[in-house]
Structure 1
């Protein structure tokens, strides 16, 4: 496994508060226990309806990515959500963008760490690095989020009620 930040290294209460603003619950499962709803397998985060499942060894980027899926989907998809978030290619790009914005709101994580971890883990883009993607094709992801009233023009996530 690449040297990426793990959930054990961040403030889980801060994560719960941040994601709670979007209606997403966080459930920490015991070390070594199966992670419900993980699409990529353990230690990756899992999603089932309104709950994000993590372990202490879950990469932070994985938890924030799955949270991004939750934020980007409508209520109908959320209600039936179990393991596979689905969505379009453009939505997946928006999810990547959201996870970076979420990282900026978590003390001890931040944008630089998230970008470094995404690169280390192998997120791939036509432009190469995540940093290059943000300067290029990410404009489509930003536009997708703005069109759906999920992001302000000054890059602030909008909490849906």
Structure 2
């Protein structure tokens, strides 16, 4: 469980943001199994272990993503993206704070938008709108504008790590191994 001194509240309310229960935990499990990330559902009345932001936000502990039905889907996918993008040494000690640098953070945001291509009923536009509603900030003013016009570095990072197939413009299954 989080140390109370490190628990943070999510920056914005999540009332109009797509939640995990919109796709179901089983769908999330199936999606993330391709990346060797397991998913554990926590009951609605329990705090989420491994949550960096606290409240309803997803948690990461080792190779497990922890969510509740009311966890914002963008939060679950963002934390999953961190796991996929980090190297094995960081994964081995992963608990709550995924860490990573500026370039990885951008790549994670790009990854969480791209992964929506694999989820029935959730598209890139919905993910971008949810990211904006939560409080992600991009210098072009929105996640969609960033993704379309300013994310070349994030895309290049994913390609360099072998996580994005440039020719097919789709994410590769699996996770970063180096």
State the TM-score, normalizing by the size of structure 2: 0.87
Aligned to 2:136, the other structure's residue is in SS state coil
Distance in 2 (CA, whole Å) between partners of 1:115 and 1:125 is 11
User: Is 1:160 equivalent to 2:147 in the alignment?
Assistant: no
List aligned pairs for 1:53-72, cutoff 5 A. Answer: 53-72=66-85
Task: Looking at secondary structure, tell me which structure has more helix per residue.
Answer: 1
Give the total of aligned pairs: 161
Which structure 1 residue ranges, 5 or more long, are not aligned?
Answer: none
Aligned 1:15-54 pairs, distance under 5 A? 15-54=28-67
Counterpart position of 2:138: 125
* CA–CA separation in structure 2 for the residues paired with 1:61 and 1:124: 14
Of 49-58 and 125-134, deviating more is 125-134
The counterpart of 2:92, out of the listed 71, 79, 101, is 79
1:104 is matched with 117
CA offsets, 1:8-46, max 9 Å, x none? 221322211110000000000011101010001110000
Asked whether the 8 Å contact 2:24–2:69 carries over to 1, the reply is: no
Does the 8 Å CA contact 2:132/2:143 hold for their aligned counterparts?
yes
Consecutive unaligned residues in structure 2, runs of 5 or more: 1-12
The alignment yields a C-alpha RMSD, in angstroms, of 1.1
Note the C-alpha offset of 1:155. Answer: 2.1
In 1: Cα distance, 2:67 partner to 2:100 partner: 22
2:160 aligned residue: 147
2:164–2:170 CA contact under 8 A, matched in 1: yes
Q: Partner of 2:17 in structure 1?
A: 4
8 Å Cα contact 2:47/2:54 also seen in 1: no
The aligned residue for residue 126 of structure 2 is 113
Distance 2:35 2:160 in 1: 18
